[in-house]
């Protein structure tokens, strides 16, 4: 066993990997964090939040009953929220604590193997108050929410409808006599369903309901609604609320249901930034864009790209470290069993996960900056950039969550049987991230939103009208010849854009054909949706590839030579991987030949070998403390087998030498006395 500086006993294979790494790990950490200052600030926050040991459980969460798990999660949420109000608020340098800080959010992961019941309070309740309230409403609600005097959630989805918001059934009918809204759930399918924290934790929620005033329906609007007594926490009369039951993950989030029986709230509890109902019941539209009430969803879609990048970084750290200590099979009889990381197929499974974590992390920062610019313009009354941003955030949310879920599962495959243990950390990561593909807008549904934008942009390009930046490549779609293949990074990115343009053109052509053949526009669109989803996916891959490449070139401009090399290798790997995944499309839409593709495969395999010696260094650069990983397989010291055994011995099943099930069932059955 090798000793490190701080006297930690480290598995010798991992120690060897670290000795072999040829680049400065800290420099890459700074790139991933967005600069040295951010790294220092993150570390300070982690030290304060995690060094006290407050995040630890006496008994592993996985051995608790559902009720114990929930109560334990509330206990730790309260500890963490108190830390946020006190020590962490100042350190995080945020005006309003925690609300948009990925570091605060990530540090919280040390406290929860699943999720906090407060996630929706900070993730959607507070952002909705910030985004949908008038200044007067904000000054009343925001301090109470930030100080955790009230805890809230976001109740939009109903039993009958999640995707189709316009189809929601909950009604909010204005009564000018009492200046109140009457909230009502007219059917079983109108019951709110899913909101995180609603089951047992929150006392307030944002409710999205169909607004009726003066006998007219004005569509869905948000309302802030008290559902439990602020002192006793008992549900208020007219409210039917509870928890929806066990799920694949999110089992500490007490997702809930909620129904209203003619439940009254004051007029001022409608969130009135974008639309108002006056005392006499007159409806006044304030916003210049009809979809601004969907703003919180757009915010969360942006946040999620960062969230899944972080979770993928965790899974790849676990799987790469484990692959460095795990030895299996004997391809060369005279040599020792190799580390499984030496198998090229293993590298193929894992290095794309590292590269994707980088790509998504950098895209998320870029997306956040674009979002801030759109918000700043909207403050000045200009909503022109919103359609492009909605299209962009929709596809990035869809692809980042779907790719991350797939790659986390691939990391589990890479860990063999031990990856299936809860204690490996990977099942919880997968259960969490696979939900992100569905919530906040399902994958297919969001890609079809992007496709709407692409088709419109294509028609603009056809009419030689100006295009917005992310689709400017469509201007080249009418050259009449296939894009020229060239295997440089810029050449591959141009090919990805040609794929997206080509697929969009095919969709438009097919829809026009179908309409000429007599189909309505809606039916022609529906018949083309498989290809429209593929076009939007191709567009998103082009955007991610282009952004990742540009950002890495920019961020490594002053890096040391070896960091430049390894970062360049990772971006190239990302481009080769996706080119090889899409060979059929490249053959359709570019001049690539069979020989070019065979050469590209060989170049890809050689690149894997070049990255191999730096693999552990690359995941170390994510700088994920053991407390965040929650993993027997991925800890920094690589004491995998010791940890697996330690965890197994904690199982309550091992507390008694003979299980009660023996005398109750096994013995009678074996003795023929059952
Ligand atoms: C410290 C802690 C800090 C942070 C927390 C950290 C992490 C938090 C992470 C996560 C939070 C935790 C958990 C979240 C749990 C999940 C919560 C939820 O799921 S809430 C519910 C979410 N629900 C959805 O997302 C529903 C999806 N459906 C829709 O968005 C819409 O219904 C639709 C599919 C977009 C369709 O809408 P609609 O029918 O109204 O519109 P049309 O299709 O007819 O389109 C008309 C026109 O409008 C454009 N448009 C649609 N949406 C938008 C938008 N948002 N912005 C701008 N424009 C929009 C659309 O493109 C059309 O344009 P056109 O083509 O006509 O020009
Ligand atoms: C863990 C978790 C937490 C959640 N938390 C919250 C919360 O806090 N608050 C809240 O309000 N909601 C929450 N939700 C609900 C979530 O937002 C919805 O489940 C999600 O938006 C998908 O909607 P749906 O369930 O209605 O799916 P559906 O729309 O019924 O989707 C089912 C299938 O139909 C397809 N489909 C639907 N419409 C179309 C279409 N137009 N074209 C093609 N295909 C289509 C979808 O692609 C999907 O494959 C949560 C969900 C989960 C899983």
Q: What is the pLDDT of residue 85?
A: 82
Q: How wide is the angle at C-alpha 89 spanned by C-alphas 83 and 93, nearest 5°? A: 150
CA 278 to chain centre: 39
| Ligand 1 pocket residue status of 91, Cβ below 6 Å | no
Question: For residue 482, what is the DSSP state?
Answer: P
Atom number, ligand 2, closest to the C-alpha of residue 161: 26
- What's the 297 CA to ligand 1 centre distance in angstroms? 5
| Ligand 1 pocket residue status of 163, Cβ below 6 Å | yes
The bound ligand whose nearest atom lies closest to the alpha carbon of 304 is 1
pLDDT in tens, 313-327: 999 999 999 999 999
Atom number, ligand 2, closest to the C-alpha of residue 442: 22
Q: Are strands 239-243 and 256-260 parallel, antiparallel or unpaired?
A: antiparallel
Atom number, ligand 1, closest to the C-alpha of residue 162: 26
Q: What is the pLDDT of residue 86?
A: 81
Of 94, 95, 93, 119, the closest CA to residue 105 belongs to: 119
| Ligand 1 pocket residue status of 165, Cβ below 6 Å | yes
**Residue identifier of the C-alpha nearest atom 6 of ligand 2:** 195
| Ligand 1 pocket residue status of 102, Cβ below 6 Å | no
Predicted-assembly ipTM surpassing the 0.85 threshold: yes
**Residue identifier of the C-alpha nearest atom 40 of ligand 1:** 166
- For 419, residues 6+ apart whose C-beta sits below 8 A from its C-beta are 319, 322, 411, 412, 413, 426, 633
| Ligand 2 pocket residue status of 222, Cβ below 6 Å | no
| Ligand 2 pocket residue status of 251, Cβ below 6 Å | no
Can 230 be counted among the known catalytic residues? no
| Ligand 1 pocket residue status of 119, Cβ below 6 Å | yes
Please state, in angstroms and rounded to a whole number, the distance separating the CA atoms of residues 207 and 212. 15
- What's the 443 CA to ligand 2 centre distance in angstroms? 9
The torsion defined by the Cα of 411, 412, 418 and 424, in degrees rounded to 10, comes to 80
Q: What are phi and psi of 270, to 5 degrees?
A: -80, 135
Atom number, ligand 2, closest to the C-alpha of residue 197: 8
Atom number, ligand 2, closest to the C-alpha of residue 208: 11
| Ligand 1 pocket residue status of 123, Cβ below 6 Å | yes
Cα end-to-end span (Å), the chain? 53
**Residue identifier of the C-alpha nearest atom 20 of ligand 1:** 440
| Ligand 2 pocket residue status of 157, Cβ below 6 Å | yes
Task: Give the position of tokens 């920019």.
Answer: 554
**Residue identifier of the C-alpha nearest atom 28 of ligand 2:** 163
| Ligand 1 pocket residue status of 449, Cβ below 6 Å | yes
46, 158, 180, 440: which one is catalytic?
A: 440
Q: What is the pLDDT of residue 194?
A: 98
**Residue identifier of the C-alpha nearest atom 18 of ligand 1:** 440
- What's the 440 CA to ligand 1 centre distance in angstroms? 7
- Domains (ranges, CATH) in the chain? 121-287 (2.40.110.10), 443-620 (1.20.140.10)
Q: What are phi and psi of 665, to 5 degrees?
A: -125, -50
Q: Are strands 2-3 and 9-10 parallel, antiparallel or unpaired?
A: antiparallel
Task: Give the position of tokens 């952002």.
Answer: 127
- What's the 502 CA to ligand 2 centre distance in angstroms? 30
Please state, in angstroms and rounded to a whole number, the distance separating the CA atoms of residues 88 and 111. 15
Q: What is the pTM of this model?
A: 0.97
Atom number, ligand 1, closest to the C-alpha of residue 304: 9
Atom number, ligand 1, closest to the C-alpha of residue 452: 65
* Structural contact between residues 569 and 546, judged by C-beta atoms closer than 8 angstroms: no
- What's the 6 CA to ligand 2 centre distance in angstroms? 48
- What's the 381 CA to ligand 1 centre distance in angstroms? 21
Please state, in angstroms and rounded to a whole number, the distance separating the CA atoms of residues 667 and 674. 9
Q: Report the residue among 115, 152, 153, 157 best suited for mutation to probe ligand 2: largest number of ligand atoms under 8 A from its CB.
A: 157
Residues of the chain falling short of pLDDT 70: 1-7, 90-100
| Ligand 2 pocket residue status of 439, Cβ below 6 Å | yes
| Ligand 1 pocket residue status of 300, Cβ below 6 Å | yes
Please state, in angstroms and rounded to a whole number, the distance separating the CA atoms of residues 450 and 389. 10
The torsion defined by the Cα of 639, 644, 650 and 654, in degrees rounded to 10, comes to -140
- What's the 274 CA to ligand 1 centre distance in angstroms? 16
Task: Give the position of tokens 């003066």.
Answer: 214
- What's the 205 CA to ligand 1 centre distance in angstroms? 18
**Residue identifier of the C-alpha nearest atom 61 of ligand 1:** 449
Please state, in angstroms and rounded to a whole number, the distance separating the CA atoms of residues 263 and 74. 28
| Residues shown for the chain | 674
Q: What is the pLDDT of residue 27?
A: 98
Evaluate the CA torsion angle 616, 617, 620, 621 in order and state its sign: negative
Atom number, ligand 2, closest to the C-alpha of residue 247: 1
**Residue identifier of the C-alpha nearest atom 9 of ligand 2:** 195
- What's the 24 CA to ligand 1 centre distance in angstroms? 41
* Total Cβ atoms within 10 A of residue 600: 20
- What's the 397 CA to ligand 2 centre distance in angstroms? 14
**Residue identifier of the C-alpha nearest atom 41 of ligand 2:** 445
Q: What is the pLDDT of residue 258?
A: 99
| Ligand 2 pocket residue status of 569, Cβ below 6 Å | no
Q: Are strands 263-266 and 180-184 parallel, antiparallel or unpaired?
A: antiparallel
| Ligand 2 pocket residue status of 441, Cβ below 6 Å | yes
Question: For residue 219, what is the DSSP state?
Answer: E
Of 321, 411, 383, the closest CA to residue 639 belongs to: 321
| Ligand 2 pocket residue status of 191, Cβ below 6 Å | no
**Residue identifier of the C-alpha nearest atom 24 of ligand 2:** 162
**Residue identifier of the C-alpha nearest atom 8 of ligand 1:** 123
Q: What is the pLDDT of residue 60?
A: 81
pLDDT in tens, 104-141: 888 888 999 889 999 999 999 999 999 999 999 999 99
- What's the 22 CA to ligand 2 centre distance in angstroms? 46
Atom number, ligand 1, closest to the C-alpha of residue 298: 55
Token representation of residue 330: 């004997």
């Amino acid at each position: 066993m090798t000793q490190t500086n701080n006297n930690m006993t480290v598995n010798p294979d991992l120690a060897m990997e670290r000795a072999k790494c040829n680049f400065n790990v800290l420099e890459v950490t700074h790139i991933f964090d967005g600069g040295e200052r951010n790294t220092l600030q993150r570390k300070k926050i982690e030290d304060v939040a995690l060094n006290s040991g407050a995040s630890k459980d006496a008994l592993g969460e996985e051995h608790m009953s559902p009720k114990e798990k929930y109560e334990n999660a509330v206990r730790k949420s309260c500890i963490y929220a108190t830390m946020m109000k006190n020590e962490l608020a100042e350190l995080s340098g945020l005006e309003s604590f925690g609300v948009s800080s990925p570091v605060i959010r990530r540090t919280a992961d040390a406290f929860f193997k699943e999720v906090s019941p407060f996630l929706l309070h900070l993730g959607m309740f507070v952002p909705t108050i910030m985004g949908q309230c008038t200044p007067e409403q904000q000054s009343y609600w925001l301090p109470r929410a930030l100080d955790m005097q009230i805890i809230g959630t976001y109740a939009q989805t109903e039993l009958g409808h999640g995707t189709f918001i316009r189809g929601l059934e909950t009604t909010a009918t204005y009564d000018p006599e009492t200046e109140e809204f009457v909230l009502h759930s007219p059917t079983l399918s109108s019951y709110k369903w899913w909101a995180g924290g609603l089951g047992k934790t929150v006392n307030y929620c944002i409710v999205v309901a169909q607004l009726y005033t003066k006998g007219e329906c004005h569509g869905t609007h948000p309302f802030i609604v008290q559902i439990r007594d602020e002192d006793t926490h008992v549900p208020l009369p007219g409210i039917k609320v509870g928890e929806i039951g066990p799920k694949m993950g999110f089992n500490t989030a007490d997702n809930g249901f909620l129904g209203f029986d003619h439940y009254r709230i004051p007029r001022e509890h409608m969130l009135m930034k974008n639309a108002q109902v006056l005392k006499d019941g007159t409806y006044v539209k304030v916003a210049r864009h009809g979809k601004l009430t969907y703003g919180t969803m757009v915010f969360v879609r942006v946040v999620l790209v960062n969230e899944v990048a972080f979770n993928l970084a965790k899974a790849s750290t676990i799987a790469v470290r484990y692959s460095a200590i795990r030895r299996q099979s004997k391809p060369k009889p005279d040599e020792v069993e190799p580390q499984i990381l030496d198998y090229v197929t293993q590298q193929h499974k894992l290095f794309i996960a590292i590269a994707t974590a980088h790509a998504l992390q950098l895209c998320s920062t870029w997306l956040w900056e674009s979002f801030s610019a759109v918000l700043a313009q909207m403050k000045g009354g200009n909503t022109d950039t919103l359609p492009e941003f909605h299209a962009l955030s929709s596809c990035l949310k869809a692809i980042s969550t779907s790719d991350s879920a797939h790659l986390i599962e691939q990391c589990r495959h890479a860990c063999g049987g031990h990856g299936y243990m809860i204690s490996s950390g990977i099942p919880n990561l997968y259960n969490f991230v696979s939900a992100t593909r569905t919530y906040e807008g399902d994958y297919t549904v969001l890609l079809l939103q992007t496709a709407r934008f692409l088709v419109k942009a294509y028609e603009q390009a056809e009419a030689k009208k100006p295009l917005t930046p992310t689709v400017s490549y469509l201007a080249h779609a009418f050259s009449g010849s296939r894009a020229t293949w060239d295997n440089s990074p810029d050449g591959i990115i141009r090919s990805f854009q040609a794929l997206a343009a080509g697929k969009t053109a095919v969709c438009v052509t097919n829809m026009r054909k179908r309409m000429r053949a007599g189909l309505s526009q809606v039916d022609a669109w529906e018949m083309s949706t498989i290809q429209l989803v593929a076009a939007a996916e191709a567009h998103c891959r082009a955007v991610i590839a282009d952004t990742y490449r540009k950002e890495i070139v920019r961020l490594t401009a002053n890096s040391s030579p070896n960091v430049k090399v390894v970062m360049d290798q990772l971006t190239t790997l990302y481009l080769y991987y996706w080119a090889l995944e899409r060979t059929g499309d490249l053959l359709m839409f570019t001049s690539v030949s069979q020989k070019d593709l065979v050469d590209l495969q060989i170049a890809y395999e050689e690149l894997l070998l070049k990255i191999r010696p730096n693999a552990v260094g690359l995941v170390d650069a994510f700088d994920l403390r053991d407390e965040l990983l929650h993993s027997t397989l991925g800890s920094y010291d690589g004491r995998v087998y010791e940890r697996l055994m330690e965890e197994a011995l904690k199982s309550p099943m091992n507390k008694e030498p003979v299980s009660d099930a023996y005398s109750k069932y096994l013995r009678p059955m074996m003795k023929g006395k059952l």
